[in-house]
Amino acid sequence: MGASLRVLTMNVLGPANPDWERRSALVGETLRRLDADVVALQEVPVADGTVEALLGPGYTVTAFSRAADDGVGGVLATRAPHRVVEEIDQRCTPRARDFAWCATLVVEVDAAVGRTLVAHHKPSWQFGYEVEREQQALAAARALERLAGRADHAVVLGDLDAPPDAASTQFWRGRRSLGGTSVCYQDAWETLHPADPGFTFDARNPLVRAGEVATAVSRRIDWVLVRSGVHGPTLQVRSCTRVLDEPVGGVWASDHCGVVADLDLPASPPGSWDQQPIG
């Protein structure tokens, strides 16, 4: 097997919510076992050592510049040291300002697959805010296009709070344009599981049924996206699975499950023919 990059995103439903001690122990055990190269976490305390305890040693960790009043926010962690390239304040409308850590954090990391831009994208979560999510996706995508020349690959991770049929996620996947701009990012889950809805916020989960949005339907809202050049994505999705999508020892880790994907350098770069014999 050639060079590979393991990426993971998970909303961990922070300590203000029930059963944090048992849930965080389960999340930490799972994250350390999976040992991803890149980890995007949402709804996690960002300044008290919680992230480092969950991940274990050896990560470079950058938190979003803003957090909620209780210290919860988003972080991006990488095994190889990373450089912060840009952070976009995504509070793009007056009503979007109600969500303090609405942002896109972009870092650059020299990974085994080559220099990679990683964007942890956290748009507005409110159900009726798709117009904001469109603007936020557009701002993030334009920034990544501007920066793309400095890296071999670009990956977007996060709890996007939008299912596959939403305008913002259609835009990310090249199925519609926004504001005169179009991009194409390959959806890691859809690549390998095209017929599986892959819910990451599932009404079967008692933390969903007991939570603030208990009436919501099951949705896939947590994403791994790989940027395409003119001939397709620069990294090949080898595996993509959900993380902690069932209880362990009677404990549900979060109201979301995570998504982990292994991204490989393709045998032949997009735009060239594979030199292996055909047939």
- Please give the pLDDT value at position 140: 98
**pLDDT tens for each residue of 12-40:** 999 999 999 999 999 999 999 999 999 99
Longest Cα separation, the chain: 61
- Please give the pLDDT value at position 216: 86
- CA-closest candidate to residue 171, choices 155, 158, 187: 187
Q: What are phi and psi of 146, to 5 degrees?
A: -65, -35
All residues at 6 or more sequence positions from 45 whose CB lies less than 8 Å from its CB, including other chains: 14, 15, 51, 70, 71, 72
- Please give the pLDDT value at position 1: 60
- Please give the pLDDT value at position 234: 97
* Cα–Cα distance for residue pair 183/167, rounded to 1 Å: 13
- Please give the pLDDT value at position 49: 95
* Cα–Cα distance for residue pair 240/233, rounded to 1 Å: 15
* Cα–Cα distance for residue pair 245/255, rounded to 1 Å: 9
- Please give the pLDDT value at position 213: 87
Domains of the chain, start order: 4-264 (3.60.10.10)
* Cα–Cα distance for residue pair 246/266, rounded to 1 Å: 32
Burial class of residue 173 (count of CB atoms within 10 Å of its CB; 0-12, 13-18, 19+): middle
Residue 274, pLDDT > 80, answer: no
Q: Which two tokens stand for residue 172?
A: 């990310």
Angle at 132 between CA 127 and CA 138, to 5 degrees: 130
Alpha helices in the chain (DSSP H): 20-34, 50-55, 130-147, 167-172, 188-192, 206-209
**pLDDT tens for each residue of 117-167:** 999 999 999 999 999 999 999 999 999 999 999 999 999 999 999 999 999
Residues β-bridged to residue 4: 264
**pLDDT tens for each residue of 34-80:** 999 999 999 999 999 999 999 999 999 999 999 999 999 999 999 99
What is the tally of helices (H) and strands (E) in the chain? 6, 13
- Please give the pLDDT value at position 7: 99
- Please give the pLDDT value at position 277: 65
Contacts 24+ apart (CB under 8 A), 186-189: 186/225, 186/226, 186/228, 186/232, 186/233, 186/237, 187/223, 187/224, 187/225, 188/223, 188/224, 188/225, 188/226, 188/237, 188/240, 188/259, 188/261, 188/263, 189/220, 189/223, 189/224, 189/240, 189/259, 189/261
Burial class of residue 233 (count of CB atoms within 10 Å of its CB; 0-12, 13-18, 19+): buried
**pLDDT tens for each residue of 77-122:** 999 999 999 999 999 999 999 999 999 999 999 999 999 999 999 9
**pLDDT tens for each residue of 217-273:** 999 999 999 999 999 999 999 999 999 999 999 999 999 999 999 999 998 878 877
- Please give the pLDDT value at position 272: 79
- Please give the pLDDT value at position 268: 81
- Please give the pLDDT value at position 212: 87
Q: Are 78 and 37 in contact (CB under 8 A)?
A: yes
Residue 210, pLDDT > 70, answer: yes
